[in-house]
């Protein structure tokens, strides 16, 4: 086997309800995750030790530029590198692989790009090294690597509880059309959760509960109902750290978005369009309004990490 490639989607959160801070530093969540057609491509080929290179991260898709590109670590902090080491240890094989990640998911954008890369690395290395780990074992490893990693393996639409990593697939009908406003720079997830705690002060967080209206809109493929039911408890924190996002959300609403919210910990904003045509209009309007770095269109739900090529030597 000379090279294995995996394609993995990013996600938006349809509901992110944040409970109290737990002793382990995480928060109890009810998290409805929805995989959308914005992808990272990861390739794995034989190497010595684990190395990683990254492309497509700069403001214009350039490498090594200032801003978001700088925030993808190329060392042991890279989640894909950590995934490769974790898999090698569990499978009892040498950790030898050269990884390359081509980013299509905004870096530190609240769309779980790092988690997506970890999931892709697990799948690619499992194939390259011939480990043959089953789905249960891969899911267990994924959960060790981060709260959003198991979802990047499964994709679709799912409800996550606990840290957000205990997943149940959600029944969803049809295809939803999204417009994503990608901001300049990223927001570190731990900082956004910390700001959420700070804003709450001494107020006790209630027990997070799954929205029945959201589940019903998903079951019936009702875009209007879905737009009304979207919610994100991290949004006030993201807006506090990045006040300019208010303008981004306002511009999307003004142009008829059925729903507008910060995706996860932000700063990417997600807008639900009525249909494909409306998503084109909305994307054009948001580009013209100058309220974000770049605009992308995507549909969801889409499947999780998938092998795209496995070339024999």
Catalytic residue annotation: 11, 148
Cβ neighbours of 89 (radius 10 Å): 11
Instruction: Identify which of 225, 243, 223 has the alpha carbon closest to the alpha carbon of residue 235.
Output: 243
Nearest distance in Å: CB 164, ligand C5P: 5
C-beta separation of 111 from 10 below 8 A: yes
Helix (H) or strand (E) holding 195: helix 189-200
Tell me how far, at minimum, the Cβ of 193 lies from ligand C5P, in Å: 4
Cα dihedral 133/136/139/144 (nearest 10): -90
List contacts with ligand C5P (CB under 6 A): 25-27, 29, 115, 146-148, 163-164, 189-190, 193
CB of 224 to ligand C5P, least distance (A): 30
Closest approach, Cβ 40 to ligand C5P, in A, equals 15
Nearest approach, Cβ of residue 272 and ligand C5P (Å): 24
For the CB of residue 239, give the shortest distance to ligand C5P in the complex, in Å: 18
DSSP-derived letter for residue 207 is: P
């Amino acid at each position: 086997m000379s090279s294995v490639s995996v394609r993995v989607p990013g996600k938006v959160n349809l509901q992110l309800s944040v409970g109290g801070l737990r002793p382990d530093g995480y928060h109890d969540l009810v998290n409805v995750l929805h995989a959308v057609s914005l992808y990272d491509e990861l390739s794995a080929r034989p190497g010595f030790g684990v190395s990683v290179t990254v492309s497509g991260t700069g403001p214009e898709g350039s490498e090594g530029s200032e801003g978001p590109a700088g925030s993808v670590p190329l060392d042991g902090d890279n989640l894909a590198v950590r995934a490769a080491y974790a898999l090698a240890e569990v499978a009892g094989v040498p950790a030898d692989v050269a990884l390359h990640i081509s980013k299509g998911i905004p870096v530190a954008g609240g769309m779980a790009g790092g988690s997506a890369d970890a999931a892709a690395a697990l799948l690619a290395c499992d194939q390259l090294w011939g480990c043959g780990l089953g789905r249960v074992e891969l899911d267990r490893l994924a959960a060790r690597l981060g709260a959003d990693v198991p979802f990047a393996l499964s994709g679709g639409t799912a409800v996550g509880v606990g840290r957000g990593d205990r997943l149940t697939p959600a029944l969803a009908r049809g295809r939803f059309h999204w417009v994503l406003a990608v901001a300049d720079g990223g927001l570190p997830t731990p900082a956004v959760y910390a700001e959420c705690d700070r804003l709450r002060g001494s107020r006790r967080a209630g027990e997070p509960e799954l929205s029945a209206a959201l589940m019903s809109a998903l079951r019936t493929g009702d875009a209007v109902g879905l737009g009304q039911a979207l919610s994100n408890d991290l949004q006030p924190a993201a807006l506090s750290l990045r006040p300019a996002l208010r303008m981004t959300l306002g511009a999307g609403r003004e142009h008829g978005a059925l729903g507008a919210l910060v995706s996860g910990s932000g700063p990417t904003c997600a807008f639900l369009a009525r249909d494909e045509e409306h998503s084109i209009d909305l994307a054009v309007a948001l580009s013209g309004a100058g309220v974000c770095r770049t605009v992308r269109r995507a549909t969801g739900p889409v499947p999780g990490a998938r092998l795209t090529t496995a070339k024999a030597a």
